[in-house]
Amino acid sequence: MDLRSYYSRPKSAGQVILGKSMTQQSAAGECDINKIIQKYRSTGIVSHVSGRRPQYGDFTAIGNFQDVQAKVLLANESFAQLSSVVRRRFNNDPSEFIAFVQDPNNRAEAEALGLIEKPPEPVKKPDEPSVPVAPSAPVVPPVPPAAAK
């Protein structure tokens, strides 16, 4: 029996691979750190990094992760409550729907689909009388007697 202290390292059981390994070796060269560094030293370019530009800014106004997830959930639930005809018009994709309603050029179609209310018709005023009214004589204030002297 092998005695160990509390601080001694446990003996590794090791792993024995029986048969052919299932690890794919097709990307071994692309993942080799030595080859990545060698390519960087010769070209000065790190090509395995994402090509998107990083964006920096103050995004604290949108809230934390939970707040944003709650907004996405609410948008999905609201979209699901629309009629199937409307959802099919937007390929059952809430993001297509949101892009559609944010474009003011789509107002007429949005009204036709019943997504927004049509503005009320302006109230017509009754026709003005066709007989012209003669202007009245100008009103002249009376002169006080004390000022007349």
Residue with tokens 């070209």: 43
Q: Report the percentage of the chain scoring pLDDT > 90.
A: 17
Residue-level pLDDT at 66? 92
Residues 43-100 have pLDDT tens digits of: 887 776 767 787 888 888 888 899 999 999 998 999 999 999 899 999 999 989 989 9
Does residue 119 fall inside a structural domain? no
Question: pTM of the entire structure?
Answer: 0.43
Does residue 135 fall inside a structural domain? no
Give the chain's radius of gyration (CA, Å).
40
Number of domains in the chain: 1
**Average of per-residue pLDDT values in the chain:** 80
Residue-level pLDDT at 131? 59
Give the residue numbers spanning the domain of 77: 61-113
Does residue 85 fall inside a structural domain? yes
Which three-class secondary structure string do you get for 100-137?
Answer: HHHCHHHHHHHHHHCCCCCCCCCCCCCCCCCCCCCCCC
Does residue 67 fall inside a structural domain? yes
